[in-house]
Structure 1
Amino acid sequence: MGVTIKNDIGVSLRKMAQGLTRPTNKALNAGAEVFAERLEKNTPVFDNTKYKGKRGDYMFKHAKDNVTYGTPKNGEILIGFKKDVAWRVHFVEFGTIRQAPKPFIQKTQKQASSEVFKVMLNEMSKGLKQ
């Protein structure tokens, strides 16, 4: 003889979580947009005029022009730089033997955290009212 216990609370929580996916994604996208704008403003630009003769006349892609963010997944969203410039951003952020660090990503995190939080909170409250 078996006993089946139906857990209505678990079912209700799952339904509620599914209903929150869309507002959460909108909030993440809004926050990412604000952060990406601030990151673009804070990203330093490399001036290659002094290297023109030494390294050739090739085109540098500036990290500032390649800020991007992905799509929300599991309640997270990645914000950063496109693949072809992302590999060298950490040299600027943390420095090298010949270059002092310019922690522009950390600076952006500190500057934008309250604004991003407000935008995300606003988007979540809009989504919950619907």
Structure 2
Amino acid sequence: MPVDVKFEGMDELIKAVEALGQKGSRIENAALREAGAYLAEEMKKEAPVRTGELWDSIEVSNVKTKQGQKYVEVGPNKDTNWRAKFIEFGTIHIRPNPFMSRAYERNKDEVQNIIKQKLKEGLGLQ
């Protein structure tokens, strides 16, 4: 004998869960942008300054998603990126100065901590 079950208030519950999902996404995006901004400042400290063009070009991208994973890109913009590769990896005439790699390696733990902290704050888990 089949039983009829009726859930009352499900529409409100679904809306609440959807709202949390949107809020969570906004919090996640803000955490990624803040961590990216921190890394960009640290990268600028490592960047060689000759004309200042490379230093000025270091920026944080908008939040992107690839295969379900959100991320930001931190580094020289497209106009300067091709020259930054020569500095980072070197050429037959220039010794490598891996300023981007150095900044990332020195600060990756702090970047993760910033993301964790911002997520906890945003979701009220502190």
Q: Name the TM tier (shorter chain).
A: 0.7 to 0.9
Give the aligned partner of residue 61 of structure 2: 70
Contact preservation (8 Å) 2:57, 2:77: yes
Q: How far apart are the structure 1 equivalents of 2:45 and 2:98?
A: 13
Number of aligned residues: 107
Q: Point out where structure 1 has 5 or more consecutive residues left out of the alignment.
A: 1-10, 47-59
Partner of 1:44: 48
Contact 1:61 1:85 in 2 (8 A): no
For structure 2, the residue ranges without an aligned partner over 5 or more in a row are 1-13
Letter in structure 1 aligned against 2:79: D
Q: Which runs of 4+ in 1 moved over 4 A?
A: none
Equivalent residue for 1:33, pick from 27, 34, 37: 37
Query: Does residue 128 of the first structure (1) align with residue 126 of the second (2)?
Result: no
**Structure with greater proportional strand content:** 2
Q: Which residue in 1 is equivalent to 2:10? A: none
Secondary structure (helix, strand or coil) at the match of 1:129 reads coil
How big is the shift at 1:91? Answer: 0.3
Structure number with greater CO (CA < 8 Å, separation at least 6) is: 1
State the Cα distance separating 1:79 from its structure 2 match. 1.1
How far 1:62 moved relative to its partner? Answer: 2.2
2:26 alignment partner in structure 1 = 22
Q: CA RMSD, aligned part only? A: 2.3
TM-score by length of 1: 0.72
Write the distance in 1 (CA, Å) between the matches of 2:124 and 2:62.
23
- Kindly provide the CA deviation profile for residues 21-64 of structure 1, in whole angstroms up to 9, marking residues without a partner as x: 01100100110011000001100123xxxxxxxxxxxxx55201
Percent of residue pairs bearing the same amino acid type: 28
TM-score of the pair, normalised by structure 2: 0.75
